[in-house]
Structure 1
Amino acid sequence: RDTPDTGSITLAKGAIVGYLEQEAIEMAGRSVLEEALSAAEHVTSMAHRMEILEAEIAVAEQDDLEALLAEYGRIQTRFEGLGGYSVEARARAVLCGLGFREQDLSRDAGELSGGWLMRLALSKLLLTTPDVLLLDEPTNHLDLESVKWLEAFLAGYDGAVILVSHDRAFMDGLVSRVAEIANRALTVYPGNYAQYEAARALRVEQGFAFARFCRAQRVDLLRGLHRRQFRRHRRAHPAGDHQRREHR
């Protein structure tokens, strides 16, 4: 990844930033669904630990039972808070929303083409639910239905979404602010992309109008200066002017 030439990036303590890579990463050895669920590995590992504890509780002696139940209760509370009981259902919903069919979920992820690997990578990113989503051209490999689903998903997303896209219709339906980088400066416009274009056109026209006003002011200033210099010259050389008039 590129590193900034200057400046710094500051994140709130504990904040998670998720970034969608532009290049597909090879995935093989797991099914599409298993690969998607790996994004929530911290949740699935809790489920695995709970299964082990359930087996141990079933055969535990009375002396060990209290400690096992206490650990199980702590993990279960955390598991529920993270939506652990619905994580597989959410994974299926995200995968299907991005165009995967139900029968595709059991396929080996290594069989997918580059475009479908990008869809799977996007699915994994969405399932991690980071505080900040950085999306670089997320609609590149999506069909129209998947784009509509993604737009609706992001519109209801609890975190912040920073988006780079050439899909104007997608941005119009989603963004609330547009940041323009030009001439080594950052300008933020409120509203969607269409509103940004209108505001930018007005700003450019106002800039041209101000430039025309400044040019007109400069011309008036130069003309006034020339007239004053001419009058001073005539006052300083009245005889010379009279002789020139007689000569004519």
Structure 2
Amino acid sequence: MRSALTSMQVGGSRERELDANVIRRVALAVRLPLGSGSGVHTLMGDFLRNCHAADDRYLDAIDAALYMARHADAERLAQILEDGGSVWTIRSDRKGLERRVDPAATQAFEQATNSDDLASVELSQAWSRAFGRDSDASDAWDHSIKAVEAILAPIVVPAQDKPQLGHVLGQLRNQGERWRLVVPGPEQDHSVGPLVTMLRTIWPNPDRHAAGDPRTPSLAEAQTVVHLAVTIVQWARSGAISLA
């Protein structure tokens, strides 16, 4: 982790001045005290000494520095983290850290969020809260639901005022014959039954009163829900869900 932080070095005097400012801002963000020195090497020395108590503090510092330092060499940092066997890697937008996820799952997420719309925004929030440093299982679950709502409501309940996933699920469950999946399924009838099952798995968030017996979901549960949401958004974008 120390080598990952110290890799964020640049050459010119103006860039070094910017480095000193970034070091101060990162230290403030992760609540690390710094000495009274002003030189970039002195500040970095103080910073690293105060980080040394725990690797988590290094990770928090890298996460903050990636967001603040435009000149950070993300590819080099990612390689250092991989070589060190870290479960963390650099986000695709290079603005922080996220848990290392199977490359195929990451590619699916990137494809599902390549459109400039509400579904992409919500799905990106869900991914960040499920796999980022600032994880929150319940929040990740909520944003997954909102992403699926945003992509399916215009297809399934276009006339619904303030549509929610419950409206979408109810319509597909009660009048499923009006829609079809591109995959024929075991009965060769293109039933939306598999989609209904996925939606029932996602909705509602167990942390909400609609669940009946509210509880905080685990991070593993929320991560699985995010992967389901990615699949559903991909299906909708590709036309795999359509009117019969």
For Structure 1 versus Structure 2, the TM-score category normalised by the shorter chain is: under 0.3
TM-score, normalised via structure 2 length? 0.25
Name the structure where strand makes up a greater proportion of residues.
1
Higher relative contact order (CA 8 A, sep 6+): 1
TM-score, normalised via structure 1 length? 0.24
